[in-house]
Each structure stands twice: as C-alpha cells, then as structure tokens.
Chains A and B, each alone.
Chain A
C-alpha cells in the first residue's frame, strides 16, 4: 500500500515492519514525529512492542541497550544534543555488540540553538563503531530501517540511520509501506545465543584486563570490515524481495564525467537536478552520493572517482581545525592511488538552503579552478 507520509513517519513505518520488541526514545525536534507515531502504534497494538518512557536520551539508549542485551530487537531515535547525550552509551552498544538501530535526524548542535539541519551531530560520532547510513528519500528511509536490523543482527554492531532535518524528516513523499508479514521472510524474528538470561547467568560488560581488551576491539574492526559485504548482500536480498536496492554509493551520470560532485543526504537529489541541467549544456559532469558512511566504501568510491579529472566534495559539516569530513574521507579513499584534484566545499551549515544555484556555483568553481590552493571553499558564508 502506498501512502503519502513525512520522512519521520517513514522511520516509524520501517520500525513497524521490523517486529521490534522494545522502543525507548525521548522526543526532540526534529525527531518528535518518529516517536509520536511509534507510541501510537504501540498503544493501538499495531506493533507488539514495549514502549519505555524515559527522562533523557542517555536513559533511552540505556534502556534499549538493556533490551538488546536481553536478546530482543530494539529501536530508538534522536537528534543533535540527544545524540550527544547518548555518546557514552553509543560506545557501550558497540562494545557489547548489540544490534540496535537508531534513527538520528541531523540537526545543528547548539549553541546557538538551532533546529535546522547539518551533519555535525552524527559525524561527531564517526569513530564510536556504529554503522552510519545517510538517507535521501522517505522510501529509502523506511526500507533502510528494515535493512539496518538485518545488517546489525548479522554483524552484531549497531546501525545509525541519518536523515536531514526538515528536508527529509518533514517532507512528505509517496512511500510504498512495508507490512510486517511481508518483511518477515526477509527479516525473521531476532534471536541470539549471547544474551542476558536468568536461566544461564553470565556477567556482561565486565572488567577486561589489557590481556583481553585489545582483542575485543580488534574483533569490532573485523566486524566493521565484514559489514561492507553484508550491507551489499542485504541490499541485494532486499531488492529480490521488494524490488528496491540502494547500494553503498549511488553514482549518477559518472561514466564519462570529467567532474564528479560527491554528496550525501538530500543534497544528492538537488545535485542530480543540477547535473541534468549541466549535461543538457554539454558539460561532462556527474555526481556520487555516499549512502553508507561507516563502513566507508573505499573501493566503490575509488572505482567511480578514478575515472574523473576533478572531484568536488560537498560537506554540510565542518571538522574544526581540519576540513569537511566527507572531503577527508574521500581524500583518504583516493590517497596514493591517483592524483586527481579533490576540492572541498562547505555549505548548508545550520540548515542554510543548498539550492540548485549553490550546487551550480560549486560545480563552476570546481571546474574553473585548475589547481585549488585551499581545501576548504566556503559557499554562501557572509564574509
């Protein structure tokens, strides 16, 4: 059944389709509708899940950690300060190898207070060990929730979905709604051997001496590396079941492109429109959307970009004292393998609109500048 729903509700429908047993979340703009709808679904019996009300995001994720440790499928959603408050428990979920799924609605971090989008909240959690998938459309969002549980439960690592505030979270689109019965053959009910069980008691999260901690961290990295193939496999399987697949990356008109614009999130859609326009003008340009940020798809990114003459990376984030974060990542994927110039662009911070005009400015600047001296090009900042 198709419905016109907002991006946040696409998250809720994805959760509804996934036989989740425990949901705990604390409402925060722009995530609120995710949990509003989920709590209604729980109350109405549409989802057979326990909805745990809490007093903070730290507790929300802690409750979900507890549920997941007890061996049930668990979900939470948050945004910005909420995600940052979860920081300690984000680490915990990884160390405890819990297949939690979390939806984070990208919101700029205060102060100054802002409810509008940028990626600094999620990207500041880059190194905790969660898989991160940046979504672009409502359909992709719903489908990725379902995929995320399968990926997480396969590699035993938590997965974070990332949605742009308002541009995605509050935008209404047609979504082919997934029903639990439909999904079950693809995503069977969750069970795990390693769980808190009063009949077979073990202690969890114990103290580990230097003799063992190292290996446990090694195993997390191994799982992260393996997850690249798992994401691909789950995506392929999902395509078999539902006819939709999303890939680790999404190249657009890159085959003969001399210039490629690297994007993520909703900016990818806007960029495609600009690419079409420029292609009409005869300019050999394409775009590459990075959907899966962790694990970073080094090979896939290299393969697409290595054919270009110039790469421009659009970052809706900034690593203070360094550069745009996607820019750093793309550069590291190409390091030592090519000498294609890579140019970094920072734009759209704090929810500033990234319009086709902005994208065009970036494209023109990237194409016009043969040897950029600076790795940060601020687009739209009032200087």
Chain B
C-alpha cells in the first residue's frame, strides 16, 4: 500500500476518483495521509527528578482536588515528600518548561503541601504485612536506607534497619539544621515509613563492630548498604590539629542534637557546599560573626542557590577565591588564618574552573573558630575486603546498586560521593526494586520512556503569563534569632494557584481542546480518555495544533 501507482495514460485509470486497491485500512481513502494519535510524553520535570516523581500527574490531581491520589503518586517513588519538599535542590524546576515562558512551577512547595497532608492523614498509608518469606538487612537509616526499607516492606519483605546512632534519619537528622527541617517533622516521617510495613529497627548498632557484613549476608536474603559519608575531610595544612579548628559536621551534629555550643565571636567556615552554608547559618544563630571562605567564586559553589541567598540575608559574609594556607596559633590558642589568594584556571573534570594560587598573594583573617566543610568521606573499614570499592566509595554495577557480591546492594552517598537527599532516596528505591527482582527471579528492569517536550512544543497561546507562587516565610532577622522553620507551606489557595500554572507537558489533562476543535467530530470523549474515530478523521491535524501540551503525535499513513 505504500507503493506509488503511476498511470502512464488515462486509459489505465479508473473512470472516477477511486482507489484501485482495497481501502478498508483507511476509510477516508487517500484523504487522511497523516494520522494523529494520542502519544503522551514524559514531562521534563519528571525526567529532571532523580527519583522520577510523576510531578505532572500529582499536580494535575491537585487541580482536580484528588489530594490522596496525588499523595499516592508521589509515594510511588519517594516515601518522604515532606522532607524533599523542604530540602531538595529541586532539579525538576530547572527542567520546568514554564521556566522558558515566565517562571518555573514551585514544585517543591506543592510536593511539601502534599507530603504534609499525607502525614496529617495517616490512614492514607497502606500497611503491608510480612507476606513474603525473604528478609533484608538495611544498614544505615539515612534517606537511602529508609527509602530502600520502605519499598521492600511495602512488597511484604521483612526488613531490619541497622543504625549506628540512637535515632534514625542519618544526615537528615544530624546534617540538616532545624530551621530547614524540624526534628519533630523528621520523626513523623520516619514513623510513617516504619509503620508502612514489616520493618524492625536496631539502633546503636555499628557495622563491623556490633555486627559483621558476613553475618548479615548469612542471616538475610539481601543486604543494602546506605552508610553515607561520615568522616570529614581534613585541610591538610599546618596548625590544623588543635583547639579552635573543628569539622563543621561535628558542630552541626551538636546543634541538631539540641546542644548549646558557643562557636566564638569570629567564625570562619571553609567550603562552598551545603554543609558550609548550614554551619555558617547555625553559627550566626549562636551569635557569631561568620565569614565563609571559598576557593572559587559563588558561581562554582555546590551549595543550593537558595541556601547561599538565605545565608547572605542572614548576614553571613563571603570571601571568594581564597584557600587556607596556614593556621596561626598563639600559645595553642587559634589566632588567625593565613589565606592564599586564588584565581580561576582551566576547567577540571567537574567542568568547574580549577582554582590556582596567585603567587605571593596572601591575607590574614583573625578568627576565634574555624569550621572545615570541604567535604566528607566514607568510613569503609567495616566492609574492607568484602565488597569492591574504588576511590573510597562502594563500586556498583548499575543504578540499581548491585555490588561485587550478589546479595549485597549499596546506594546513596557511599556510592556516589557527596550528593543529595533525593538521589539517595532514588538509589534506595532502585536497589529495593532490584532486590525484589532478585527474589522473584525477574530479569533486569526495563528502562522507561524518555521522550519529552520543550517550550517549542507548547501552544503558549493558551497560557497567560504569571509569576511563581512563593511560599510564605519569616523575615531573615527573625529567622537568624532561632531555629524556627523559615519557610511555611502553601495553604489550599496558594497550592491551587500554583498547581493551576502547570502546563502538564506532554501529558493529557483532559482540557477538551482536541474534542472541541475537531471539525469532523471524529474525537470521542470517554470517561478518562479521548478516542480518535479513524473512520472519519481526515488528518487535518487541528487537534495536534490545538493541544496546548503536545499530547498528540502524527504518523504518515501507509508507511
């Protein structure tokens, strides 16, 4: 049918315009030569989310006021939306199509609102029983471990969580200050996860000391290692050892534990990541004058942009292009730090420009305390020689966390190096998925749909420009006075105002445009879908143009 018929003379032609061949395959004859068909894509925000939250779907469900279903949609890929809604670096927003129209959707604020609504409705969480015989040990109760435990327990596998600390949460508990994530909320989230299925907790248990990896491997059908990065990197300069110089994480751990710490009047923080920001802002809350010194510029800082801006608002000083060279002590007491001035050279393997010293240029900063926040590393003594490691990280075969030992999986910072909460959640979930497949004998998981759309695929005539709806907040001067949570959540009105801004990129939200515009009345509206009646569709493609969100693709007929 794709072969072109060439008539050499009118004598070879039928008397009137009619097909020579049978045309039951296209009842419009040659009229419809291009066929429209519903073809949903993956919204770019979802592709931008490390744990592939179905953002478009839950925002759509919010617009329809189906909050429980919206919450369920998130829980499919992330068991702690209340937390990610507060602390995530929201790469989804960088991908948001609306960013190229006016301003990206405030996705984390919507996620947070749904997460909190879920916590307020504990009956929404299904309670799984231990329906399967296999048992899994999860080592480390940070975001990766908790996520892994949640997705295994929900399938009916019994999970035992081993945690070195007395309380669960890992970096969520000791690494994130309360003004960003309140401990009470964290407790609630963890409780909701623990209650979701057969999960047992063993706190105060150290791997390699209280329990060995081989023992776990023998006792359990699978083991997940989500032990994170726990040891601070050292500066490696003169005078580092001694009073007045401390790892920032230790300070944070004490502050988050409710301990009163006096860092001193003048505090320097070395580093440009989130730990540096958290340390600086906690020190401000203790009343210190704080200077963050970073060896590159603000553009290269790995910290979340919002956190840098908050730190500035709270009065944290920044000094860029400088690295500590020497720590000067006066009778054992910290006196000052000599900094080497730097400039940006050629880009390094991370793509950021490498800082290089400017010969002979230094300056001195007089401080009472220096916090180091130049990164953390894993403590892998407990698994040494048992699981393949490289560069002090556990080596995995793929994103599903398979290690060199069949029954042992790993995920989170201990695999990736310092990354993010949401990436750890994703790693935990994917490892759980792979562990389930190990138990059921199913093969490798298939990679999902990746096709997405951009602003050029949006019919922007259907949208009015509007500003992102911001969450209410307490002013910086009030914020810096204590550990009250700075950002408040959306109320219903704000939630809907923001959800209504979503383009629903590449996914139908039943706007009826195709159905209304079809000049041949060839689109039928069913309960939860539209169906094209190809007996009548002439392929004018008005539906394709009028779909505001590129849900309809085309295909040449007979090809």
Contacts and interface: CB of A to CB of B under 8 A. Distances in A.
Interface of A: 95-97, 156, 194, 200-208, 211-212, 215-216, 218-219
B22 interface: yes
B29 A205 contact: yes
A116 B85 CA distance: 82
A203 B27 contact: yes
A95 B22 contact: no
Contacts of A200: 22
Contacts of A202: 18-23
B10 A206 contact: no
Interface in B1-59: 6-7, 9-10, 13-24, 26-31, 33
A204 B18 contact: yes
26 contacts: A95-B17, A97-B16, A156-B15, A194-B14, A201-B22, A201-B23, A202-B20, A203-B23, A203-B26, A203-B28, A203-B29, A203-B30, A204-B17, A205-B17, A206-B18, A206-B31, A207-B31, A208-B17, A211-B7, A212-B7, A212-B13, A215-B7, A216-B10, A216-B13, A216-B16, A219-B10
B18 A219 contact: no
B15 A97 contact: yes
Contacts of A207: 29-31, 33
Nearest to B7: A212
A203 B557 CA distance: 15
Contacts of A203: 18-19, 23, 26-31
Interface centre among A205, A206, A211 (most CB of B within 10 A): A206
Nearest to B26: A203
B22 to A, nearest CB: 5
A216 B9 CA distance: 11
A382 to B, nearest CB: 49
A41 B22 CA distance: 39
Contacts of A194: 14-16, 18
Contacts of B28: 203
Nearest to A217: B10
Nearest to B25: A201
A204 B23 CA distance: 10
A205 B7 CA distance: 17
Contacts of A156: 15
The 5 residue pairs across chains A and B that have the minimum distance between CB atoms:
A203-B29, A215-B10, A206-B29, A203-B23, A97-B16
Contacts of B29: 203-207
Nearest to B33: A207
Contacts of A218: 10
Contact of B13 (A96, A201, A215): A215
A200 B23 CA distance: 9
A96 B29 CA distance: 14
Nearest to A214: B10
A194 B31 CA distance: 20
B17 to A, nearest CB: 5
Interface string B292-332: 00000000000000000000000000000000000000000
Contacts of B16: 95-97, 194, 204-205, 216
A200 B29 CA distance: 14
A296 B18 CA distance: 29
B34 to A, nearest CB: 12
A204 B19 CA distance: 7
A104 B261 CA distance: 106
Contact of B17 (A96, A201, A211): A96
Nearest to A209: B30
Contacts of B23: 201-203
Interface centre among A96, A156, A212 (most CB of B within 10 A): A212
Contacts of A95: 16-17
B28 to A, nearest CB: 7
Interface in B490-512: none
Contacts of B10: 215-216, 218-219
Contacts of B20: 202
Contact of A206 (B6, B13, B15, B19): B19
B536 to A, nearest CB: 13
A47 to B, nearest CB: 28
Contacts of B13: 212, 215-216, 219
Interface centre among B9, B10, B19 (most CB of A within 10 A): B10
A211 B10 CA distance: 11
A331 B21 CA distance: 47
Nearest to B538: A207
Contacts of B30: 203, 206-207
A212 B12 CA distance: 11
B17 A216 contact: yes
Nearest to A219: B10
Contact of B24 (A96, A201, A206): A201
A74 to B, nearest CB: 16
Contacts of A96: 16-17
B534 to A, nearest CB: 13
A206 B16 CA distance: 9
A175 B398 CA distance: 97
Nearest to B4: A211
A214 to B, nearest CB: 9
Contacts of B9: 215
A215 B30 CA distance: 18
A206 B22 contact: no
Nearest to B27: A203
Interface centre among B7, B14, B16 (most CB of A within 10 A): B16
Interface centre among A194, A203, A208 (most CB of B within 10 A): A203
Interface in B143-188: none
Given A194-B14, A219-B13, 20 more contacts: A201-B24, A202-B19, A202-B23, A203-B18, A203-B26, A203-B29, A204-B29, A206-B29, A206-B30, A206-B31, A207-B29, A207-B31, A207-B33, A212-B17, A215-B9, A215-B10, A215-B13, A216-B10, A218-B10, A219-B15
Contacts of A212: 7, 13, 17
Nearest to B32: A207
B323 to A, nearest CB: 73
Nearest to B15: A97
A152 to B, nearest CB: 13
A218 B7 CA distance: 14
B203 to A, nearest CB: 74
Nearest to A216: B17
B525 to A, nearest CB: 27
A85 B331 CA distance: 109
A207 B23 CA distance: 13
Contacts of A216: 10, 13, 16-17
A58 B177 CA distance: 78
Contacts of B27: 203
A359 B548 CA distance: 71
A139 to B, nearest CB: 34
A202 B23 CA distance: 5
A220 to B, nearest CB: 9
B33 to A, nearest CB: 8
Contacts of B6: 211
